[in-house]
Amino acid sequence: MTDPFDSRKARAAEWFHTLRDRIVAAFEALEDRVAGDAAPGRFEVTPTTRAEGGGGGIMSVMRGGRAFEKVGVNWSEVHGVLGERAQKAMAARGVPGMEKDPRFWASGISLVAHMQNPHAPAVHMNTRMFWTPGAAWFGGGSDLNPAIEYADDTAHFHGEMQRACDAHSPDYYTRFKAWADEYFFVPHRGRARGVGGIFYDDLSTGDWEADFAFTQAVGEAFLPAFLPLAEKRAGTPFSEDDRETQLRHRGLYAEYNLVYDRGTKFGLETGHDANAVLMSLPPVAKWY
């Protein structure tokens, strides 16, 4: 029997894949512009699989680029049966029917960029669709993580996120900015990991097309929000103190992703490729 959601799954997975391709191309083009006479960075592309089978994805990582010290742009489409811990986590979030039918399907794109120049902000973005027999929803968002903050960079980034939100609902930006501020807070440090952005999950308004269109808008907003900042700051002179500030901030970022991040926990618990799940970690960091 054909699942009526099959065509929607295919559309979403294909769109996430296409977005991944465009971002990879845009990042390599930025490398070309920043490199000058030096060799630009390029992505290494590796297929990924779930340990239990049931789909996989593409891990694309660039290391040692001219603009990017490390950046990963991953796409995945996975399916299978949720383990007991994941079932309980889903049930706690109000997903119906987990005890009767713990099948799942998920697809999305996940991106984290750590920059060479301490004045250029790190950034995270993801958009995804998740399906179970009892529910289907979208989630995602993007947040800026500068080690050295610039008010105009923050304003530009938030402006692009707000533009994407406002085109779909007048309250989305206010709601999802507040959610990001709460979600990306590091309790044991008593501070945010960056200057925020937007974050949403469990988005299922009853209009799948509208929810998908909004998720596409969030993905489309990413390059206009981030690329101008990355290019503007790539050539800013910096000191050893600036580099120390960057490495300490990366330590904060790593702590958050290993201790609190929902996507990290879910990826490891469902058997996805650990290298792909932990792609978000910085190449070098410091703690004091």
- Is the separation of the CB atoms in 160 and 137 below 8 Å? no
Residues 6 or more apart in contact with residue 152 via CB below 8 angstroms: none
Tokens coding 120? 């250029």
pLDDT under 50: residue ranges of the chain: none
Tokens coding 53? 């089978």
Exactly one of 114, 119, 124, 156 is catalytic; name it: 124
Question: Where on the phi/psi map is residue 186: left (φ > 0), alpha (ψ -120 to 50), or beta?
Answer: beta
How many angstroms separate the CA atoms of 98 and 115, rounded?
41
**Kind and range of the H or E element at 154?**
helix 151-166
17 is catalytic: no
- Structure confidence at residue 270 (pLDDT): 65
Closest-CA residue to 278 (of 263, 270, 286): 263
Neighbouring CB atoms inside 10 A of 106's CB total: 23
How many angstroms separate the CA atoms of 179 and 157, rounded?
16
- Structure confidence at residue 50 (pLDDT): 77
pTM: predicted TM-score of the whole model, two decimal places? 0.92
What's the pLDDT tens digit per position in 6-39?
899 999 999 999 999 999 999 999 999 999 889 9
Task: Report the SS3 class of residue 221.
Answer: helix
Task: Report the SS3 class of residue 131.
Answer: strand
Q: Give me the domains of the chain, ranges plus CATH numbers.
A: 6-140+225-280 (3.40.1500.10)
- Structure confidence at residue 84 (pLDDT): 79
Residues 6 or more apart in contact with residue 21 via CB below 8 angstroms: none
- Structure confidence at residue 272 (pLDDT): 61
- Is the separation of the CB atoms in 81 and 103 below 8 Å? yes
**Kind and range of the H or E element at 163?**
helix 151-166
- Structure confidence at residue 230 (pLDDT): 98
